């Protein structure tokens, strides 16, 4: 019986079953052959053999079998292999229809949206890390085996990037701490009943996480060579303006440890008051008033007290977007095949928590 695609009205395209699922066949093109051992999932019917370049015709079944064997060999030889897709978007459907069977899962979306490339973009780095942290806390067992493998491969790339660029190690430490805590509970508690794969693989992954934590703990920040104007050379009003641009209290404290001048500016009551007003409502202030020794409100302590009870506003340089007209999730830079007359009116930014909620049924 011939295989029918997700759309049963498909106009006769041929499909090939791969380890990533069913993929549509395309015409063979020599440009798709790469000398760097990349994946080639195209089923072609004409293969050149021999030194005299004679053509030998194989059946379609033989070509499909050869392509499948070649791809399996690639996955055996490359443990860091990822799932690659041409489209960097995914249709989010929550019900079965005659045209589309099944549901869009969290693991499928995680594989399709190319987070490996997103972490190389500084605008998206914090967004992806926060998303991985939310998955580690509650949705790790919702990922398929391929998505879990992809998850840890991306995490490995993140740790390497932090070790090389020394960018935001505190954020990665929090992610690894949440992930290790979750794995300890799953391995010691329910174990095999929820984790996809051999339990020994997960123990090995937990050991790798502990190794990453130790590496980040021993990370030494490189000292910059002063070749010209530095942060300390800026006037006070510019330094104060920089501090007012921060939306994270820990970033203000970290910057205040650089010089005595920055420490003085980071302790400004008005700065912390503005930060509290940005993240929290006035009704929340009344429930957690913390007066100082002089009788004034200690806005710095207030910020960290409120942070324990209420979520703070999140800011990201770039986020995933959801098209309400097409029900497609995508990165705004890559776009998607929208059919709306005015696509910009249909776009909605998606926070990391919203991304998780999209796939809860």
Site of tokens 């004034």:
296
pLDDT at site 359: 78
Higher-confidence residue of 135 and 33: namely: 135
How many whole angstroms separate alpha carbon 17 and alpha carbon 188?
37
Domain segments of the chain as ranges: 105-218, 248-308, 320-358
Which residues fall within 8 angstroms of residue 316, CB to CB, at 6 or more apart? 123, 124, 126, 127, 130
Residues 262-295 have pLDDT tens digits of 999 999 989 999 998 888 887 877 777 777 667 6
- Is residue 134 predicted with pLDDT exceeding 70? yes
Give the 3-state secondary structure of 107-148.
HHHHHHCCHHHHCCCHHHHHHHHHHHHHHHHHHHHHCCHHHH
Give this prediction's pTM: 0.65
pLDDT at site 208: 93
Quickly state the pLDDT bin for 145 (edges 50, 70, 90).
confident
pLDDT at site 54: 40
Buried b (16+ CB within 10 A) or exposed e, 302-318: bbebbbeeeebeeebeb
Residues 180-235 have pLDDT tens digits of 998 888 877 655 566 777 778 888 889 999 999 999 988 877 766 566 777 778 88
DSSP symbols for 22-65: EEE-----GGG--TT--------SEEEETTTTEEEE--HHHHHH
């Amino acid at each position: 019986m011939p295989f029918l695609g997700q759309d049963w009205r498909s106009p006769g395209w041929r499909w090939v079953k791969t380890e990533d699922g069913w993929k549509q066949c395309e015409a063979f093109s020599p440009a798709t052959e790469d000398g760097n051992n990349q994946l080639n999932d195209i089923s072609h019917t004409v293969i050149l053999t021999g030194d005299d370049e004679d053509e030998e015709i194989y059946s379609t079944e033989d070509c499909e079998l050869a392509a499948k064997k070649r791809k399996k060999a690639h996955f055996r030889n490359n443990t860091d292999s990822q799932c690659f897709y041409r489209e960097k978007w995914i249709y989010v459907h929550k019900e079965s229809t005659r045209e589309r069977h099944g549901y869009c899962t969290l693991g499928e979306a995680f594989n399709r949206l190319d987070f490996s490339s997103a972490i190389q973009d500084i605008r998206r780095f914090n967004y992806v890390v926060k998303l991985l942290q939310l998955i580690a806390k509650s949705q790790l067992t919702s990922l398929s085996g391929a998505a879990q493998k992809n998850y840890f491969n991306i995490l490995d790339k993140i740790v390497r990037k932090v070790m090389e660029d020394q960018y935001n190690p505190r954020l990665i430490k929090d992610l690894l701490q949440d992930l290790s805590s979750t794995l300890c509970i799953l391995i010691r508690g329910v174990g095999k009943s929820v984790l996809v794969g051999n339990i020994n693989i997960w123990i090995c992954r937990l050991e790798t996480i502990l190794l990453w934590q130790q590496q980040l703990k021993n990370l030494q920040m490189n000292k910059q060579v002063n070749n010209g104007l530095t942060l300390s050379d800026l006037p006070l009003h510019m330094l104060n303006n920089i501090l007012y641009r921060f939306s994270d209290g820990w970033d203000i404290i970290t910057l205040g440890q650089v010089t005595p001048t920055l420490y003085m500016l980071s302790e400004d009551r008005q700065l912390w008051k503005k930060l509290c007003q940005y993240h929290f409502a006035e009704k929340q202030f009344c429930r957690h008033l913390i007066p100082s020794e002089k009788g004034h409100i200690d806005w710095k302590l207030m910020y960290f007290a409120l942070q324990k009870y209420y979520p703070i506003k999140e800011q990201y340089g770039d986020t995933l977007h959801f098209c309400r007209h097409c029900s497609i999730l995508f990165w705004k830079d890559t776009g998607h095949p929208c059919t709306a007359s005015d696509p910009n009116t249909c776009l909605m930014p998606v926070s990391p928590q919203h991304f998780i909620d999209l796939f809860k049924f």
